[in-house]
Amino acid sequence: MQARDVEIQENHKNKVVNSPKSYERKKIWGDRKDGWILKDLSPFTKLVPHLMTSRNSSAVYFKEKLDVTNFVRYVEEKNKELSITPVETSRGSIKKITYFNVFLTALVRLLALKPHLNRFIAGRNFYQRKKIEVAFVAKKEFSEEGEETIIKEAFQRDETLWSIASRLNREIKTVKTEDTDDTTDLLNMFARFPKPIVHLMVSFLDFLNYIGKYPEDIYKEDPMHASVVVTNLGSIGLRTVPYHHLYDRGTCSVFVCLGEIHKDKVKDDKTGELVSKDFVEISVTVDERISDGFYYIGAMEKFNEILNNPKLLEEKLEHFPIDQ
């Protein structure tokens, strides 16, 4: 950071350390393993979880068609560079990046810059999530019979494109080459029990989540305990994406559907002529209780800005918002 590496301020009446990697705070009563309780809220805000009791019934839906011409050009030019000079990381060489690599890095950057999106409600209390955790769907093969699995990864706030791409490539390669994965193994374990037992087990886990005692081993693999779930529908050629519901179980407050990047004709603002540009449609479902509409609009504008300046994702984020 330019002025100092660590910035300290009194926030929510507690000492909060705003470091490049994560927020840190001395533990207080009400904190959970996955989040800090937020107490310095308006009386009405505190009342909202009692008036709107479920995540899915509190969901709001919006869709954007984004101009990603600069984004596409960047990926194409960067892959030409990488074919000649790969980027070396601790997990190996990166010789190629995908649109999804850059998109997910942009999403992690957005959650670092707009921390309200990384909040959740549990036990009718508000929490700021301690980590940026992303879950996304991956298919072992692109066919109707291809098995789907969900990968969940935790990222630091100052991650770069190279650190994220190397981890994603490793995880996706593992999913495609191995018979099972940890998430699938967990689901298969539950599926073996009789239905009444499964119902009791899920109800008990929901209760543990309500009181902040969710088992750590299950939490690590459970995609419903993530900052955001992403489904890349563009990988199967879908341009117009549907809205996806939120899940009442778990703590995930945001669900993103990504469509296929495609060409479209638009009128040039200067010449008035039709020009060809690259666009992508995304739909976002968010728990409206965690922030307000003005914040969501600003977040979408920031995301569009990040996607149109993808080269910045090669460098670590230096300036961090300190509002939790």
Tell me whether residue 70 is in a domain: yes
Domain count, the chain: 1
Tell me whether residue 172 is in a domain: yes
Tell me whether residue 19 is in a domain: yes
Helix (H) or strand (E) holding 189: helix 182-191
Name the 3-class secondary structure at 183: helix
Tell me whether residue 321 is in a domain: no
State how far the Cα of 307 lies from the Cα of 321, in Å rounded to an integer. Answer: 19
Q: Domain range spanning residue 235?
A: 7-314
The mean per-residue pLDDT over the stretch 168-174 comes to: 79
Nearest 10 degrees: Cα torsion 297, 302, 308, 310: -150
Model confidence over 194-221: pLDDT tens digits? Answer: 888 888 988 999 999 999 999 998 898 8
Q: At what angle do helices 182-191 and 195-210 cross, to 10 degrees?
A: 120
Query: Which residues, listed in sequence order, are joined to residue 18 by a DSSP beta bridge?
Result: 7, 23
Looking at the chain, the number of H-run helices and the number of E-run strands are: 8, 15
User: Is pLDDT above 60 for 305?
Assistant: yes
Q: Are 252 and 228 in contact (CB under 8 A)?
A: yes
User: Is pLDDT above 60 for 133?
Assistant: yes
Tell me whether residue 2 is in a domain: no
Cα–Cα distance list, 142 to 119, 180, 190, 194, 197 (Å): 34, 17, 27, 32, 34
Average pLDDT, the chain: 85
Question: The tokens 């407050």 sit on which residue?
Answer: 253
Structure tokens given for 256 = 């993103």
**DSSP output for 50-113:** HHS--TGGGEEEEEEEEE-HHHHHHHHHHHHHHHHSPEEETTEEE----HHHHHHHHHHHHHHH
Helix (H) or strand (E) holding 173: helix 161-177
Model confidence over 223-234: pLDDT tens digits? Answer: 999 999 999 999
Name the 3-class secondary structure at 302: helix
The mean per-residue pLDDT over the stretch 157-183 comes to: 79
Structure tokens given for 82 = 């990488």
Question: The tokens 């003005």 sit on which residue?
Answer: 294
Which positions ≥6 away from 45 have C-beta within 8 Å? 126
What is the pTM (predicted TM-score) of this model? Answer: 0.85
Name the 3-class secondary structure at 185: helix
The mean per-residue pLDDT over the stretch 111-139 comes to: 92
State how far the Cα of 242 lies from the Cα of 251, in Å rounded to an integer. Answer: 22
State how far the Cα of 252 lies from the Cα of 236, in Å rounded to an integer. Answer: 24
CATH of the domain at 298: 3.30.559.10
